[in-house]
Structure 1
């Protein structure tokens, strides 16, 4: 394993290369993306007014976001989304009382940048922070600037299913001296995962790498220990440092980021061109000036029952379609009691949760895989092929 013989040096080089890649002065690497968000939220509270304890999240996003907020001891505030963009409904966001809001969290779902400049203006104007969550958008840009670098601080993820993965890993980036100092005070007391845990994660990583081939998409159901394709809300996870022996591997993958994202973009562009006029299918409107990386390609099937039929056909063909997150954030049962407010009925987030379908875009997806996927979708939706 690269970096195993000089782990401290390997981690130092990883932080330096991340700083250079994303143009940030301070970089910290944690055990998971969730752990990174917990540490960052605690740091933001440490440098902010004590009365600010709410964190705004979009009504449709990854469950790890509200779980990190709760684990940090803060309150989740939900604002609805615009189903056309998967970004916030800005009319609603701008009407919110932000006087108790510590941070607004971006989503950049599936590698599609949010309107990050607008979000930063709203947060700054309210005396809050923008936490730019680029866990799914490492390498995506808006107007030439990296997602994850807008606002006070940002997050990237090396967890499974992300742009590059060492199975687990979370990255905090910031240019803010006070926030960096607050993060540093926290991480100096954290442990690293045990050797046994790290060895188990390396084994999972080897298994995961084999499953990226579309011909093996059926295997995860027989390997539940990997947790692939599962979405659970939980706060039962450790907040630790990144295993230093993985630093060399992370550096090698980081150097492949542009190549991997190039393949994802090509696959995403193909789907966008092939599916833009299929009846019953709605594509996501991208922000002007954005350069998405398509972690997966998202589309909305207007009839939820047809979405389920289409997913079954894609899975039967071994093509890896996914419904993504099963519900809006407001409908997570274990989150009740931690919600500091819900924007209306979160109808946009709920509408998307019932209709979202995502397609794989990683570099092992072939031209034949793409064509077969499009053929299945068009036939299912009654469109001539």
Structure 2
């Protein structure tokens, strides 16, 4: 049996809307992007949503729109995909890492305040694997210190923290829609904010610095980029956001089924769920007990047709970050320990019981082999 790590969920509604775009001859800057933005804003209950061509682009524009630049510092997590820190370096700001909570894998709020200096302009939490960070504490710190909060919610659309959806109460939130995400536009992302000035700046900068209020196609009011989301991608997004509740329910059901099935395997720790926190299940990641060789386990899974991947590699130990900032092993021990033990198993909307049973059985074989 072949079980991929991820698989997009594309149906007839998606195909119909894409054909509408193809038949319209409007492939960019058309009605579908406006509709997609409106539907996302309504779902998240925010004033503004600005669609862009990737989550990375969204993070970059959020940083620029808030005026974060050279010499500024932003406190963030070293346990993340690299774009959450690269977006700061794009603007010559410095990411200042705080270690993670070993249970949630999110930034540990208790380590944030001690890292704040006169140069600190923002906190950038990442909702890792779709699990909300401790936003109550983060907002309290930000308010006390008078700094911004940018939420990297790229993995977490639909997640909520004590009844409040992530990415909705911050200065800017960013979601992403790569094919392995809960909903997809192929490539794409969206910036959310309740600040109309931030939204206006992001719309201008995504479109080569053109202004919506004045000037023509060749009149550029500020430095900008080609970060636009095309109409075909937006059409796909419209169909996906229309059924997001169904999609999230499927993924939640699959995650809970996995957790039950995996209880029989000694040495495999499953994700825990916290009261008051709704996880939007992006990936299903387990942790292997100390002494279990993860590479050997992965090799056995892959030889048996099962997609798997380590999540994440510590950002501070990436070659570019070592060279640029002088990081080394031991700087963020929780991140390093968790990173060395985590393993993403196949996970997608329509994963079947048969596929999950196969993954669990082969994983058990792998654990038994490496434990001999």
Q: TM-score, normalised by structure 2?
A: 0.82
Q: 1:87 aligned to 106, 114, 117, which one?
A: 106
CA distance in 2, matches of 1:287, 1:44: 32
Q: Report the secondary structure of 2:149's partner residue.
A: strand
In the aligned structure 1, how far is the partner of 2:328 from the partner of 2:76?
Answer: 10
Which one has the largest radius of gyration?
Answer: 2
C-alpha contact 1:76 1:338 (8 A) present in aligned 2: no
Whether the aligned pair in 2 keeps the contact of 1:138 and 1:147 (CA below 8 Å) is yes
The equivalent residue for 1:249 is 236
For these two proteins, the number of residue pairs brought into alignment is 333
Q: Take 1:304 and 1:239, find their aligned partners in 2: how far apart are those partners? A: 48
- Is residue 309 of structure 1 aligned with residue 296 of structure 2? yes
Q: How far apart in 2 are the matches of 1:42 and 1:338?
A: 22
Structure 2 equivalent of residue 263 of structure 1 = 250
The one of 17, 29, 38 equivalent to 2:60 is 38
Contact 1:56-1:78 at 8 Å conserved across structures: yes
CA distance in 1, matches of 2:273, 2:169: 18
1:292 aligns with 2:276: no
Q: Which runs of 5+ in 2 are unaligned?
A: 1-17, 211-224
The structural deviation recorded for 1:304 is: 6.0
Equivalent of 1:365, from 348, 351, 360?
A: 351
| RMSD, aligned CA | 2.6
1:54-93 alignment to 2 at 5 Å?
Answer: 54-93=73-112
Q: 1:166 to 1:172 in 2, by over 3 A?
A: same
CA distance in 2, matches of 1:287, 1:12: 36
5+ residue gaps, structure 1? 192-237
1:18 pairs with 2:40: yes
TM-score, structure 1 length as denominator?
0.79
Q: Does 1:3 align with 2:21?
A: yes
SS in 1 for 2:21: coil
Q: Which sits farther off after the overlay, 265-274 or 94-103?
A: 94-103
What is the Cα deviation at residue 137 of structure 1? 0.8
Task: Report 1:1-385 matches (<5 A).
Answer: 1=18, 2-4=20-22, 5=24, 6=26, 7=28, 8-45=30-67, 53-189=72-208, 239-276=226-263, 278-303=265-290, 305-325=292-312, 327-336=313-322, 338-339=324-325, 345-382=331-368
**Residue pair 2:292, 2:367 contacting (<8 A) in 1 also:** no
Secondary structure at 2:59 match in 1: helix
